[in-house]
Chain A
Amino acid sequence: MKRLIILLLSTISIGHTCLAQETEQDSLSEITNKNALFNRPFVLQSQWGKSSTAIGGYIEGNTNYSSTDGVSDGFSMELRRFNIFLYASVGDYIKFISELEFEHGTEEIALETALLDFELDPALIIRAGILLPPIGYFNQNHDGPKWEFIDRPLVSTTILPATLSEMGIGIHGDFNLSGELFSNVQVLTYELYVVNGLQDGIINNSSGRTSIPLGKASSRFEEDNNGSPSLTGRLGIKFKTLGEFGGSFYAGRYNRFQEDGLDLDEKRSLYLWAFDYNLNIKKLRILGEWAWASINVPQSLGPAFGDQQWGAHTDLIYPIRKGDLWRWKETTLNANVRMEFVDYNQGDFVETGANRFDQIWAIVPGISLRFGTNTALKVNFRYQWEKDLLGNPTIKSTGYQFGFASYF
């Protein structure tokens, strides 16, 4: 009996709330505290048929079959990512977007983006929240369905630490230059943000080398480890026919050098520079990025921890067949090749004068079948050469991958 009364009261209460919402006359004074759960703009907008919220995402997965120096662990499959986007136009010239990432199922769940854009003018937009620093081309442009290759470029993930999300605030904007001084230039873009910055994991790690990606501490959305924010920015220029070039940087102190008024270490800085391009020359698409890193590393860590790193990749994509294929209309079959190189430790050994290697080269030919622009099937063959720090005999790896990626 008691349960029945509670159920009736609840039903009346919700019914009353909905009625109130339908009148579009809600105000705090008319809503009880108990109903605050539903007193949210997206609920109200939805009920009024004026919702501006959109949901989307992408999925990508692949098979792996590779061998290193002739030893293979056999065939396996992985679901790399299942990411959900949430977008809302929350007001006049105010936009919200977020991305929630599920990597390898639920092995790693991360909030990759959650930001607000306040557009004062197309040339001046204030951005705040968890954002993707614009270092290089890939970090902001990393969705699997956009790429013709299954693996992400080494330079983009191991020197530029994509995907890098940071809590930050800053400005960005576009200058439309067409028809003005430079007839061939379509648009000039800029971005400049202050972010919490990468942290001590760059050198305090269990990888035995300087690793910029390991500087992504989980606490970086909560606080800066050293109270000294980092600065990141990118300048891009897009030509009408050729495509886009970009130059970008990321700079700041990464280590915890002071706490409770105590000096714990020297102030150590990280500088990243990148140059990227996304070009179209007739049917051939060329995209890639080059990156350089300079890291203040304690000498006491020894030569395995390099203070200079660099790397590059270039993807060549050429459509070899366009048209209907089986039941699908307007498909494109691309022939692709990626060339990439990373050097994690530039310099020589003091003890012998020999080069410190710690390098990887790879060439990845492949084909991709695109169903429009949002969905792709990919086949890659990877041939990789790896030299350890000392320059011992090259470790050779080969592998095949079949992958799929699609927005939804």
Chain B
Amino acid sequence: MRSKILQYLFVWLAIAACEEFLLEPPVENELLDGPIAGLSTSQQQVFLAGDIAFNDEIFGPESGLGPIFVSTSCGGCHAGDGKGHPSTVLTRFGRQDGTGFDHLINLGGPQLQHRAIAGYIPEEIPSEATAITELIAPAVTGLGLLSAVSDQQLLNLVASQQTAGIVSGSLNYVKPPEFFKPQSFHIPNVDGDFIGRFGKKSGAIDLLHQTVNAYKQDMGVTTEFDQEDPINVQVSSLNTDPIADPELPAATVQNVVFYLQTLKAPIPRNPDDPLVQSGKLLFENIGCANCHLPTMVSGLHPIEPLSEKVFHPYTDLLLHDMGPQLDDGYVESQELSSEWRTPPLWGIGLSANSQGGAIHLMHDGRAKSLEEAIVLHGGEAATSSTLYQELTTQEQQSVLTFLRSL
């Protein structure tokens, strides 16, 4: 009898101990993914649908992949919602001629799809291209807050920078696609073009624009918003994908857009650490914060957690001339080829977590450390770069510690 009681006791103790062996979740500020605080249950359901479409849905030939592509899924370029890896670098090409910049659409531009499904040949850069650029996919966290900044705020920033005369940010006006629906905070120019704010050169007006382009150019997947597959002129100038278009319904695209809008902003680590604090002060003193603006405020937005919020992206969302060393000769819309949109620095300290343990910074991943990235800054950022290099080693370490805390 005693033995039986012990046996029962052992079984129940074993069951009770189960919870103890399950892992604890990682600390929230070590992760880029997760929703912004304050979403309703209905919004969390849409977030989940978008999360699945973004991170779990992998395309194959039967679900519309390609036939030429760069990656098989959104998550393939943005692992853990973070920065991309050199193996999924995006190559864009075009031609500068007397009339302007030609994206060589009829020759398969603007983006190279250097991969192809079995039995199909990948695209090659046409000989007509004179400008070729390579782009590492950016992190996608906090994009909703950036998308909720009003055009008026960006126009004000341009004006204030011109007045201050230290840096001179500019805006890229982009011809809107047919599916673009302006919000109350969008302000067109006289030509009916709108301010671009997403992409390395601000080539996309809003997250729907960016997402539809990514499905098409990165995965070769057509959507209800854009039903034309990328063409490979080595095969035909016609659509040669056997899958009926659209390959993805509007609902999935919109779920992904909602997911991108409501991904939380990266959470800083050790913000109160004295070394981080001193690094932040130096960062501002040497002028980095002129472009990597620490604080922005979102405008009115239908998604309440994005509406009128103060946030800290370390970007001004404006284009800046980065000098001849970073001039790739490529133009998205109306910007100079040496101009790049200030990338947000939030989350930069977690870059290695999505880039395979190493870091690949700047637009094409050429910088293999934060320090190298700072030194590569030229043009409007040259003074700050020089000032950084003139800091003592200890001061430089403070700046780097601050950046890693973001």
- Asked whether B118 is an interface residue with its Cβ less than 8 Å from the other chain, the reply is yes
Q: Is the CB of B62 within 8 A of A200?
A: no
- Asked whether B200 is an interface residue with its Cβ less than 8 Å from the other chain, the reply is no
Q: Is the CB of B358 within 8 A of A354?
A: yes
- Asked whether A301 is an interface residue with its Cβ less than 8 Å from the other chain, the reply is yes
The stretch of B297-305, B335-343, B349-357 that contacts the partner chain = B349-357
Q: How far is the CA of A70 from the CA of B26 in the complex (A)?
A: 7
Q: Is the CB of B86 within 8 A of A206?
A: no
The stretch of A14-22, A227-235, A390-398 that contacts the partner chain = A390-398
CB distance from B99 to the nearest CB of A (A): 35
- Asked whether A207 is an interface residue with its Cβ less than 8 Å from the other chain, the reply is yes
Name the residue on A nearest B24 (C-beta). A70
Q: How far is the CA of A388 from the CA of B23 in the complex (A)?
A: 19
The stretch of B53-61, B140-148, B252-260, B277-285 that contacts the partner chain = B53-61
| Main DSSP-derived SS at the B contact region | loop
Q: Is the CB of B354 within 8 A of A300?
A: no
Q: Is the CB of B26 within 8 A of A69?
A: yes
Q: Is the CB of A304 within 8 A of B76?
A: yes
The stretch of B43-51, B119-127, B163-171, B387-395 that contacts the partner chain = B119-127
Name the residue on A nearest B58 (C-beta). A208
Chain A residues numbered 218-263 whose CB sits less than 8 Å from any CB in chain B:
255
From B4, B23, B85, contact of A390 by CB (8 A): B85
Chain A, 257-275, contact with B by CB distance < 8 Å: what is the 0/1 string? Answer: 0000000110010000000
Chain B residues numbered 333-381 whose CB sits less than 8 Å from any CB in chain A:
353-358, 360
Q: Is the CB of A204 within 8 A of B23?
A: no
Q: How many A-B residue pairs have CB under 8 A?
A: 108
- Asked whether B116 is an interface residue with its Cβ less than 8 Å from the other chain, the reply is yes
CB distance from A355 to the nearest CB of B (A): 9
Q: Which residues of B contact A204 (CB under 8 A)?
A: 60-62, 117-118
Q: Is the CB of B72 within 8 A of A304?
A: yes
Report if A300-B18 is in contact (Cβ < 8 Å); known contacts: A349-B87, A351-B89, A354-B356: no
Chain B, 18-41, contact with A by CB distance < 8 Å: what is the 0/1 string? Answer: 100111111000000000000000
- Asked whether B201 is an interface residue with its Cβ less than 8 Å from the other chain, the reply is no
Q: How far is the CA of A264 from the CA of B62 in the complex (A)?
A: 16
Q: Which residues of A contact B79 (CB under 8 A)?
A: 388, 390, 392
Q: How far is the CA of A298 from the CA of B120 in the complex (A)?
A: 9
- Asked whether A65 is an interface residue with its Cβ less than 8 Å from the other chain, the reply is yes
- Asked whether B73 is an interface residue with its Cβ less than 8 Å from the other chain, the reply is yes
Q: How far is the CA of A67 from the CA of B19 in the complex (A)?
A: 10
- Asked whether B216 is an interface residue with its Cβ less than 8 Å from the other chain, the reply is no
Chain B, 70-110, contact with A by CB distance < 8 Å: what is the 0/1 string? Answer: 01110010011000011101000000000000000000000
- Asked whether A49 is an interface residue with its Cβ less than 8 Å from the other chain, the reply is no
Q: Which residues of A contact B72 (CB under 8 A)?
A: 206, 208, 304
Q: Which residues of A contact B (CB under 8 A)?
A: 65-67, 69-72, 200, 203-208, 255, 264-265, 268, 298, 300-304, 326, 349-352, 354, 379, 381, 388, 390-393, 396-400
